[in-house]
A = this chain, B = another copy of it.
Amino acid sequence: MLQIGMLIYPSMFDIDLIGPQTFLSRLGDAEVFHVWKDRAPVVSDLGLAYQARHDFASCPENLDILFVPGGLKGTIPAMRDPAVIAFLADRGARAKYVTSVCTGSLLLGAAGLLDGYRVTSYWMVRDLLPLFGAELVKERVVIDRNRITGGGATAGLDFGLTLASVLRGEDHAKTLQLLVEYDPQPPFDAGAPERAPSSVAAGIRQRRADELQAAREAATAAARALGKV
């Protein structure tokens, strides 16, 4: 039975977790569980309370999949938390697949798990990945050996479907895709910074400038601890 450990943490983006889990919980013969440093409820970006099944000590030693969701507001303090980084480095070193969506890749990078790998991340922070020795690839989902990373937030659906295909084959993945009618038709074409109105992208960058600066500082500190900068 596959052991799939999904990190949860305060202020994580709900869609980053639920998107992938929509597919990963339907692989058959797989156990999907949430992991956090303790068993206190984890309050997400949407204000929902998630209860980890495992803490860092009880989490199985050998995971088939280690997954990390994003959500920048929560990713920043998690990057600075030695217990989180030590957990990811430990389980990531032995997991069959080391995976993330959105800013979750910053946590994998801070744990030293992306050095020398081609990876992607959320559009606003993806230029930070080279700090960790990773090579940025601007694609929706990037597979490099056993690292599978997705772009921002909603990329978790494409990520989950891709991972389902890797683990169970195309027929199973297509069955899951039809089961959840994943035939996306966004009413606008503003989901990538290259195609959104420039005022929209600039507005987001401006409103989140402080957060982006904090992310850069946390990533730089983590890279320094890894001896990368």
Contacts and interface: CB of A to CB of B under 8 A. Distances in A.
A184 B181 contact: no
Interface string A163-188: 00100001101110111111111111
Contacts of A134: none
B192 A188 contact: no
- Interface size of A as a range: 35 or more
A153 to B, nearest CB: 4
A180 to B, nearest CB: 4
B152 A174 contact: no
Nearest to A14: B18
Contacts of A151: 181, 183
Contacts of A199: 171
Given A173-B188, A175-B190, 7 more contacts: A123-B181, A153-B180, A154-B182, A177-B190, A178-B191, A182-B186, A183-B191
Interface of A: 13-15, 18-19, 21-22, 25, 46-51, 102, 122-123, 140-141, 151-155, 157-158, 161-162, 165, 170-171, 173-175, 177-188, 190-193, 195-197, 199-201, 203-204
